[in-house]
């Protein structure tokens, strides 16, 4: 038997819901879906689900202007949760978009948000990217408003999770979208729950001062209204009291008591007739008002010439009213007022063209709004500079629940280096979502990743083919170069010992002869070959016994230190030479580690203090090398060359 035959409360509420214009042509299908959901709720003895669906549906229809697919998603979600309807059945009977929305909601519900407070921007990005359909996030926002309206009915643990997520994630999201009615209600309910004493105190004081405020508003508005009528403007004037959370913020930022908050309310002037020159008319109204009351020029906010990224348009000024009290005045048209209250959700009414195409454009605009990090001061406009699209990024969980932002297409090895250079340099693989994967494994959005390391692991040239990040490529190249220098030092000792053993003096001409014999382009290459075991030590004797066809080597002019530095920075030389016997004006020994001949060293080009010579074991070495690799140069003591 149909649950609607007895004219139940649920049916009457559904009939009210179906009156929304957006649901035209879908009423039969919606009744079918609601009937299936209600039957399941009766079997489960869950009397609360149907009212939740209906109330949330009203929110997303009225405040967000979403359509039938979003309402079907809300109705059918519980059936999918219970396994009564599979995704395939939902797609077959109700359409692919409905299936996509339900799958997207399920992804958001499975998301671990325990560390949202320290990763707010990344979590907002992850919420946005978990589903291709932006409506998923909007539906979830509507569901969260329902949760906050009925917070008292949840257990304490869930109350803590709901309020925490609301404060860190959903209020900022509503703010960015210009959904100020929803944002204000979320803030109001949140403060009422978390700080009832302060909330009730301010609410009581607002009630106590209501009569005085109404009387003052009437006196303030009267001459403005007369001036507007005399000049042919049809306007609605009303007083708007600031929200209690907003008043509380002003008390804290201004460090004053309630009685000292001068702008507890604002006067709104709404021009009813919308004309092509509406901006000019708003400025005319501004001129008329400021003829009556003196404005504060530093408090003028022109959101008409330069609308906010949410589409918000309004002209704000603060004037000195009767009794010397400051009053904020907001001037806008009825169109601007609706957009100001409902943000993106009101835009579609004022755009031309195909309705479906218009909605697609609006959803793209919504995504762009959420892709922009919120300015630290919400009193300032959100930056209009276009940020990198979240679609080009992924968000990865660490085992501790932290969220890291990474470029799409990056590997396990990239992620390891993003955590720390040492972690990257010793990475052997990872456990991703419980499964072991190699270094080259490409990470996906929302992966849980545990990096595996080994002390015996070190970078190798093959890693250059795995990493995508330019910064990580530079880190690996630097590590390989440092490793090569270690091998070169070892190789130098091998050659030196062999030459002395054969009775020769270990000097530059002899080493140059060996480099030529073994076909090396530099002495460093010669040392590296022997250090890596790639050259035959027994051939040194043969090389030394061969006559030098060119006679004694031609002495080479020694480069000055600035020339050497220039050559290294240009990539022509491998390292700079430090002579401890000469006190140079061109470099200084770092006080933090006080290097002496025999220590492994490197040169660091500082911004204000010139070139500093550090030990490679210096406590500051890691930070300097990882943060400023472009300022680090290889260095060697002269007697060790």
Does pLDDT of 554 surpass 70? Answer: no
Determine the number of helices (DSSP H) and then strands (DSSP E) in the chain: 26, 16
- Checking if the pLDDT of 332 tops 50, the result is yes
The answer for residues whose C-beta is within 8 angstroms of residue 324's C-beta and 6 or more apart is: none
**Paired residues of 427 in beta bridges:** 453
Give the residue carrying structure tokens 């904020």: 328
Question: Percentage of the chain surpassing pLDDT 70?
Answer: 77
In DSSP notation, 171-226 reads: HHHHHHTT-HHHHHHHHHHHHHHH-HHHHHHHHHHHHHTHHHHHHHHHHHHHHHHH
- What is the separation, in whole angstroms, between the first and last Cα of the chain? 95
Average pLDDT (578-604) is: 79
How far apart, in whole angstroms, are the C-alpha atoms of residue 168 and residue 394? Answer: 20
- Average pLDDT score, the chain: 78
pLDDT at 561: 46
441-452: b (≥16 Cβ within 10 Å) or e: bebebbbebebb
376 pLDDT tier (thresholds 50, 70, 90) = very low
d(Cα 428, Cα 412) in Å, to the nearest integer? 10
What average pLDDT does range 205-211 have in this prediction? 91
Between strands 601-605 and 265-271, the pairing is unpaired
Phi, psi of 390 (to 5 degrees): -60, -25
Q: What is residue 558's predicted lDDT score, i.e. its pLDDT? A: 47
DSSP for 163-177 reads: HHHIIIIIHHHHHHT
pLDDT confidence of residue 584: 62
Tokens 């001068």, located at residue: 262
Listed ranges 284-288, 447-451, 531-535; the one with the highest mean pLDDT: 284-288
Kindly report the number of other CB atoms within 10 A of residue 115's CB atom: 17
Measured over the CA atoms of residue 119, residue 125, residue 129 and residue 131, the dihedral's sign is positive
Of the two residues 367 and 537, the one the predictor is more confident about is 537
Which of 558, 572, 592, 585 lies closest to 633 in space, CA to CA?
572
Q: Domains (ranges, CATH) in the chain?
A: 9-195 (1.10.3210.10), 201-350 (3.30.460.10), 392-468 (3.10.20.30), 469-547 (no CATH), 557-641 (no CATH)
pLDDT of 181 above 90: no
Does the pLDDT of residue 334 top 60, yes or no?
A: yes
Q: Per the structure block, which two tokens stand in for 160?
A: 């803590």
* Whether residue 559 has pLDDT greater than 80: no
Tell me the pLDDT band of 486, cut-offs 50, 70 and 90: low
Which range has highest mean pLDDT (123-137, 519-533, 551-565, 627-641)?
519-533
Residue written as tokens 């990743």?
449
Query: Residue 345: its pLDDT value, please?
Result: 53
Residue 1 pLDDT more than 60? no
């Amino acid at each position: 038997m149909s649950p609607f035959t007895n004219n139940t409360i649920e049916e009457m509420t559904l009939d009210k819901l179906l009156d929304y214009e957006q649901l035209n042509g879908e009423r039969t299908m919606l009744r079918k879906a609601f009937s299936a959901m209600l039957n399941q709720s009766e079997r489960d003895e869950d009397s609360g689900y149907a009212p939740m669906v209906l109330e949330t549906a009203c929110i997303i229809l009225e405040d967000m202007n979403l359509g039938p697919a979003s309402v079907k998603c809300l109705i059918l979600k519980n059936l999918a949760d219970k396994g009564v309807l599979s995704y395939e059945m939902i797609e077959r009977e109700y359409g692919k978009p409905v299936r996509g929305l339900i799958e997207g909601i399920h992804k958001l519900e499975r998301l671990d948000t325990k560390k949202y407070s320290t990763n707010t921007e990344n979590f907002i990005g992850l919420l946005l990217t978990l589903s291709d359909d932006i409506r998923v996030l909007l539906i979830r926002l509507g569901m969260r408003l329902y949760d906050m309206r009925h917070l008292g009915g949840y257990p304490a643990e869930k109350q803590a999770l709901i309020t925490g997520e609301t404060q860190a994630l959903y209020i900022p999201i509503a703010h960015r979208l210009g959904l100020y009615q929803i944002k204000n209600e979320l803030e109001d309910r949140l403060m009422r729950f978390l700080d009832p004493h302060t909330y009730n105190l301010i609410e009581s004081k607002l009630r106590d001062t209501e009569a005085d405020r109404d009387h003052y508003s009437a006196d303030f508005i009267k001459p403005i209204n007369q001036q507007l009528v005399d000049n042919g403007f049809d306007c609605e004037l009303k007083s708007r009291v600031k929200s209690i959370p907003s008043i509380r913020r002003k008390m804290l930022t201004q460090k004053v008591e309630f009685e000292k908050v001068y702008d507890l309310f604002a006067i709104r002037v709404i021009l009813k007739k919308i004309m092509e020159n509406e901006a000019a008319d708003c400025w005319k109204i501004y001129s008329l008002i400021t003829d009556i009351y003196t404005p504060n020029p530093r408090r003028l906010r022109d959101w008409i010439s330069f609308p906010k990224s949410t589409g918000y348009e309004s002209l704000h000024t603060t004037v000195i009213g009767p009794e010397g009290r400051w009053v904020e005045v907001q001037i806008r048209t009825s169109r601007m007022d609706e957009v100001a209250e409902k943000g993106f959700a009101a835009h579609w009414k004022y755009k031309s063209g195909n309705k479906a195409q218009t909605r697609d454009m609006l959803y793209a605009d919504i995504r762009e709004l959420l892709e922009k990090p919120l300015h630290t001061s919400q009193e300032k406009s959100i930056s209009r500079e276009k940020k990198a699209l979240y679609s080009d990024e992924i968000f990865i969980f660490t085992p501790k629940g932290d969220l890291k932002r990474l470029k799409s297409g990056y590997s396990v090895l990239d992620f390891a280096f993003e955590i720390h250079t040492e972690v990257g340099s010793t990475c052997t693989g990872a456990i991703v979502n419980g499964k072991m994967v190699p270094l080259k494994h490409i990470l996906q959005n929302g992966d849980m990743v545990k990096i595996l390391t080994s002390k015996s692991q070190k970078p190798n040239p093959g890693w250059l083919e795995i990493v995508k990040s330019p910064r990580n490529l530079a880190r690996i190249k630097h590590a390989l170069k440092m490793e090569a220098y270690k091998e070169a030092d070892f190789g130098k000792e091998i050659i030196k010992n062999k030459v002395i053993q054969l009775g020769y003096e270990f000097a530059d001409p002899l080493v140059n002869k060996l480099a030529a014999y073994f076909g090396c382009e530099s002495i460093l290459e010669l040392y590296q070959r022997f250090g890596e075991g790639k050259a035959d030590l027994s051939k040194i004797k043969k090389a030394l016994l061969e006559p030098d066809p060119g006679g004694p080597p031609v002495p080479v002019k020694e480069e000055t230190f600035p020339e050497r530095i220039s050559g290294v920075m240009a990539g022509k030389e491998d390292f700079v030479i430090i002579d401890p016997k000469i006190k140079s004006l061109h470099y200084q020994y770092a006080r933090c580690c006080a290097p002496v001949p025999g220590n492994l060293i490197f040169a660091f080009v500082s911004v204000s203090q010139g070139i500093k010579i550090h030990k490679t074991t210096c406590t500051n070495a890691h930070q300097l090398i990882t943060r400023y690799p472009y300022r680090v140069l290889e260095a060697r003591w002269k007697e060790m060359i």
